[in-house]
Amino acid sequence: MLQVNFIKKNKEEVLERLAVKNFSQVSLVDRIIELDDERKKIQFEFDETQSKINTASKDIGQLMAAGKNDLAEEKKTEVATLKSALQPVNEKLSAVEENLRNELIKIPNLPHASVPKGKTPEENEVVREGGEKPLLGKEAVPHWELAKKYDLINFELGNKVTGSGFPFYKNKGAKLQRALIQYFLDYNTAAGYTEYQPPLMVNEASAYGTGQLPDKEGQMYFANADNFYLIPTAEVPVTNIYRDEIVNENELPLKMTAYTPCFRREAGSYGKDVRGLNRLHQFDKVEIVQLVHPDKSYEVLEEMVSHVEKLLQSLELPYRILRLCGGDMSFASALTYDFEVYSAAQQKWLEVSSVSNFESFQSNRMKIRFKPSLQAGRNSEGKTQLVHTLNGSSLALPRIVAALLENKQTNREIELPKVLHSYFGGATIE
């Protein structure tokens, strides 16, 4: 959530940057400024009346002590009248504050200056590519046929037990999932990330804090009896660990990683792009999250991009990194890099990770702050500041599995990258 003072002081910049995200409800900016001005006027009236009440109440005690009971009773009447007048002012103030908050949460995060203009994924910028695309023979088949041939994944059984987009992994398919998850977690913890195993459901405050609500409400599964949401990503519970907390500056950066199943309704998805593992309603993912000092967040973003890139290189998969254009970015992101791997059998790029800097957009919602350390020549600590939050997939499994099966297939087996041999307990799926 953007801060009102920033919007008021930088209105033209805000409008220009919202245009990069193709945000059409620009009248909200003026509405927010008007509501804040109204809030300040009512707040002044409230404070002025409260001050009169405080002064009169103090006078009552002094008059009583001086034996001037009649004057004290007059002051009591005055206080009662002022308190009666204060109540509707307080109600009006609460209503304006609620309206202001409801309008503020409709404004997306502002894109970073480096975000390219554009409306569609085709307008994203390719930052760099790595690895070599394999040359497969004519007998090569897509992963859903390989999964059936090697008895790795049963899509029909998932459809029977739950529905489309909920596959069963079995035999070496289940073992490959487990191997990838453990490798990803070990890779992240070796880089200094603390591992968590979070809940798979969150409350409304947590979903609101990371920006899933109200923007993605229709994309989440909802347990209405308890008012819980199934998580679309581990980012939601993990980032909320520090909601409403103040940390010391010397604790930053806070680096966290977690494996969870993820649940997404994917409403509106259809056609060939959803076949097999390309788009699921339940899938496994390992996430990385960082809470950092505002001055270092873009340096950390590049470090996280490099971290994910090296992970993909270790899997021996051809990949490319994209800087998302304004129209393809999420509601909460200020800058996002997408990672895609090349699926040789499908002859298409598949997204496997997004690494994003949210600046203070999420931390303002969650009130995650840090207390600056003592500096030389300063007798007291500075004011608390909002941290910057970042997260990335490290990695999402379905399309990684799809690319591994397809790109590493031969006539007789599927060859696994060397880094997985010890985790999988073998070099091939035969």
181: Cα within 13 Å, side-chain hemisphere: 16
126 shares its domain with 269: yes
Ligand-binding site membership of 77 (annotated):
no
Q: What gap in Å lies between CA 281 and CA 269, rounded to an integer?
A: 10
- Number of other residues whose CB lies within 10 A of the CB of residue 236: 28
277 shares its domain with 229: yes
Ligand-binding site membership of 380 (annotated):
no
pLDDT at 67: 87
Q: Are 294 and 385 in contact (CB under 8 A)?
A: yes
Ligand-binding site membership of 39 (annotated):
no
Mean pLDDT of 412-430: 97
pLDDT at 268: 58
37 shares its domain with 169: no
Ligand-binding site membership of 353 (annotated):
yes
More confident residue, 79 or 418: 418
Would you say residue 110 lies in a domain? no
pTM, two decimal places:
0.91
CATH number, domain with residue 280 = 3.30.930.10
86 shares its domain with 173: no
10 shares its domain with 158: no
Question: 79, 104, 129 — which closes off a domain?
Answer: 104
For 139-156, the pLDDT digits (tens) are 899 999 999 999 999 999
Would you say residue 53 lies in a domain? yes
CATH number, domain with residue 58 = 1.10.287.40
Q: Are 394 and 187 in contact (CB under 8 A)?
A: yes
Question: 76, 104, 132 — which closes off a domain?
Answer: 104
> Range with the lowest mean pLDDT among 42-46, 243-247, 252-256, 272-276?
272-276
Would you say residue 353 lies in a domain? yes
Question: 48, 71, 104 — which closes off a domain?
Answer: 104
* CB-neighbour burial class of residue 138 (10 A; exposed 0-12, middle 13-18, buried 19+): exposed
Query: Is the model's pLDDT at 377 over the cut of 50?
Result: no
Ligand-binding site membership of 264 (annotated):
yes
Would you say residue 192 lies in a domain? yes
50: Cα within 13 Å, side-chain hemisphere: 10
82 shares its domain with 132: no
308 shares its domain with 399: yes
Would you say residue 109 lies in a domain? no
Would you say residue 114 lies in a domain? no
Would you say residue 261 lies in a domain? yes
For 321-345, the pLDDT digits (tens) are 999 999 999 999 999 999 999 999 9
- 192 CB contacts (<8 Å, ≥6 apart)? 255
Ligand-binding site membership of 391 (annotated):
yes
Q: Give the chain's domain count.
A: 2
pLDDT at 267: 67
For 278-295, the pLDDT digits (tens) are 999 999 999 999 999 999
Residue ranges making up the domain that contains 88: 4-104
Ligand-binding site membership of 351 (annotated):
yes
